[in-house]
Amino acid sequence: MAQTKGKISSTTIPIWFIIATCWLLSFRVYAKLTQAQAPPGKGVAWVTPAQFEEMKKRPSGLGRDLVIYEFTADWCSPCKKRERTVFRAPKVISDINDNFIPVRVDLTSEELSNIPATKKLTQQYRVDSIPRCIITLKSGELVDDDRYMYGDRFAGFIERSKEKANNVRAKLALVKGDYDFAIKNLSPAILSGSVSLDSYSYVDYLMCHHLLLMTHRQAEVEPMMKKTYELTARASEASIPKEPLDWLENLNKYLRDQISDEQLLKTDTADSDIAMSNLAIGLKCLRLGDKDKALKALHKSAVLSAKLYISDSLSEPLAHELEK
Amino acid sequence: MQIHRTLFNPAIFVHTLCVKFANPRYLLLPILLVGVPAFALLISLSFSHMQLNDEAKKMIAKSVHAYISQPSVYLLLAFLFISDAIASGKLVAESDTLALLFTRPMTRFCYVLTRYLAAVIGTSFFMYCAILLAYIVALFYGVYTIDIGWLTVLSIVLSAASWCSMAIFLHSAAPVVAIITMFILFGCGGMGSIYSHAQEPTNAFLQILKTLILFLDQWFGDFMPNSIDLATMAAASAFDTYEFSIFISNIAFFILIAAFSLSCREFSYGSD
């Protein structure tokens, strides 16, 4: 079909176009084969789960406090896309290399998925689909979880997870009874009530309230609660469908000692709300020194959360600590 | 007849873009497609089941952008320009194709390229009109969130370029060849994505099948036109060279096989 010198027929296809198309197709194959490889020394310094296990055993320790797990496979095209776009950005690369221990968990084949270190991670974090990115403390506590973040949103996810890690550290300290350390880890925005409750969880709100009381900062409690309520109400107005504020109102009444435990529980219908109310009751009982009642409420909260496949990462360890 | 070496034929360009729409009733379908997002926006903003605040209005208006990334709309518009079916009132409309091919001193590659360019321009024009109309409707409700800037224009042109390349191949190849090719390409991508989410096979046969299908998906699954969302691409942390190479090579590949298929086809005066 290619044109011959001097003579041209109606079926002629220009040779330059055929060459250009072949070149583009070859480049496509090259791009496909190299898409998962960052230039040497310029990418994220990933380690395998087995190498990570080895690192844990070193006397010098792990160095950084946060771990980022990227669950991926060769046949997973969204995973490849993340590799090409997200993990090639200089900001993301430096952020991950400086603050995290990056662990790439390869699930390409059954053989790789069955490596003990890999299997342990997929079971521990219930990884049932990929791509999946999980951020934890080096001690294993879950900080944040992401499935389909691309582009600039991933950089934001990394940034937010560093803040969330502080809340997780605060929870751990609270469980151990180290309230001063716990409150130091909470962000000033949460402590002053400058964030609405759709930006962070009710657990953190309850923890913040509890820590302010336990560290004798009663004067800050009411302004924090008021400001948080106002901001949440404003955010709720903008959202579709509107978030119910009645539950927060009831919770605040309970925290202000205006209603009893029974009255608080009576208003809840959803399991998640009952779990949260039990956590509030458990924390209040802890403050009052009623350990038996606190243990009962925290147990109930942990069981209900587990039923919903969520973990508030506070009620269960607190109950466990009380049982000890 | 002396065949010209040119890549562009003005007569075919004008025919593809406007002559066949000389009768206004042939414009009815494209105009309906242009009006869809504006009409949907009007209905959503006027007859909402709840009181809409500014944020909600903005969110509804923004959803109009989903329309300009719909492959089906691009394909339909591209088909209206590339095929003569609507204007000639025939299902298999080759009358004009044949007339143009046999009466002009040009290569079939030139025919393919000119029709393709005209289709890209026409499809982009109608898609941009659609978003512009939606923008005007949104303005009446005091919403300014619909982006009609250069990034949207470029996204529309690139998406049109991508889907028109497939439409020109479907038009140029013999119907059976075109259908089988598309069936295989869609199949590779579709089966591959199903298997990507499937659990580990329980026996050796299923394992082999999975490996085979994932191989086909990996190497041939992306031989489908893809829309480019420049807004997302521009916001991404790093430029996606691979996706761009797929996009460009798909266009070139479809134009090449369209020209090749048309060159292989035998046309005779009796076929009309």
For A230-286, the pLDDT digits (tens) are 888 777 665 555 556 777 888 888 888 888 888 877 776 777 778 888 888 888 888
Q: What token pair was written down for B74?
A: 């691009």
Which tokens belong to B112? 């393919």
CA–CA gap between residue B53 and residue A234 (Å, rounded): 12
Residue B256: what pLDDT?
94
Chain A residue nearest residue B259, CA to CA: A13
The 3-state DSSP class for residue A318 equals helix
Q: Provide the pLDDT for residue B219.
A: 81
Nearest to B53 among A21, A150, A238 (CB): A238
Sign of CA dihedral B162, B64, B77, B190: positive
A10: closest CA of chain B, how far (Å) = 4
Contact assignment for A31 to B238 by CB distance below 8 Å: no
Q: Of the candidates A13, A31, A152, which has its C-beta nearest B235's C-beta? A: A152
Question: To 5 degrees, how large is the angle CA A321–CA A143–CA A148?
Answer: 145
CB contact under 8 A, A155 and B237: yes
B2 close to B105: Cβ distance less than 8 angstroms: yes
Query: pLDDT: is B271 or A40 the higher one?
Result: A40
The helix/strand/coil state of A108 is coil
Nearest chain B residue to A114, by CA: B200
DSSP annotation of A39 reads P
**Beta carbons of B26 and B20 less than 8 angstroms apart:** yes
Q: Which of A8, A11, A107 to mutate to test the interface with B (most CBs of B within 10 A)?
A: A11
User: DSSP labels for chain B?
Assistant: -PPP--S--HHHHHHHHTGGG-SGGGGHHHHHHHHHHHHHHHHHHHS-SS---HHHHHHHHHGGGGGGG-HHHHHHHHHHHH--HHHHT-SS--HHHHHHHHHS---HHHHHHHHHHHHHHHHHHHHHHHHHHHHHHHHHTT------SHHHHHHHHHHHHHHHHHHHHHHHS-HHHHHHHHHHHHHHHHHHHHHHHSPPPSSHHHHHHHHHHHHHHHHHTT-S-----HHHHHHSSS--HHHHHHHHHHHHHHHHHHHHHHHH----GGG-
**How far away is chain A from the Cα of B26, in angstroms, using its nearest Cα?**
31
From residue B57, give the alpha-carbon distance in Å to each of A1, A292, A318, B15: 56, 51, 45, 42
Taking every pair of C-alpha atoms in chain B, what is the biggest distance, in angstroms? 70
Q: Which residues of B touch A24 (CB under 8 A)?
A: 245, 248-249, 252-253
Residue B137 or residue A12, greater confidence = B137
Name the strand (E) or helix (H) holding A70: strand A66-72
Least CB–CB distance from A129: residue in B197, B221, B263 = B197
3-state secondary structure of A257: coil
- More confident: A201 or B261: B261
DSSP string, A271-300: HHHHHHHHHHHHHHHHHHT-HHHHHHHHHH
DSSP three-state, residue A22: helix
Q: Chain A contacts of B44, Cβ < 8 Å?
A: none
Max mean pLDDT among A85-89, A147-151, A152-156, A291-295 falls in A291-295
Q: Residue B184: what pLDDT?
A: 83
For residue A84, the chain B residues in CB contact (below 8 A) are: 238, 240-243
Contact (Cβ atoms closer than 8 angstroms) between residue B3 and residue A10: yes
User: Does B238 sit within 8 Å of A8, measured CB to CB?
Assistant: no
Question: What is residue B99's predicted lDDT score, i.e. its pLDDT?
Answer: 64
- Chain B positions touching chain A (beta carbons under 8 Å): 3, 5, 7, 53, 55-56, 59, 101, 106-109, 193, 196-197, 200, 214, 217-219, 221-222, 232, 235-238, 240-243, 245-246, 248-249, 252-253, 255-256, 259-260, 263-264
pLDDT at A221 over 50: yes
Q: Which residues neighbour B137 within 8 Å (Cβ) at sequence distance 6 or greater?
A: B38, B41, B42, B45
Residue A226 and residue A209 in contact, taking contact as beta carbons nearer than 8 Å: no
CA of A245 to nearest chain B CA: how many angstroms apart? 18
Contact A8 B3 (CB under 8 A): yes
Say which of A1, A18, A88 has its CB closest to residue B238.
A88
* Residues of chain A neighbouring B219 (CB-CB closer than 8 A): 32
What is the pTM assigned to this prediction?
0.68
pLDDT profile of chain B (272 residues), mean per 10? 74 83 81 90 80 76 82 88 70 57 78 93 94 91 85 90 92 85 79 64 78 80 76 66 86 93 72 45
Residues A70-104 pLDDT 10s: 988 887 777 887 887 788 777 888 888 888 999 99
CB spacing of B243 vs A91 below 8 angstroms? no
Instruction: Determine the pLDDT at residue B125.
Output: 94
Q: pLDDT value at position A2?
A: 47
Nearest chain A residue to B201, by CA: A110
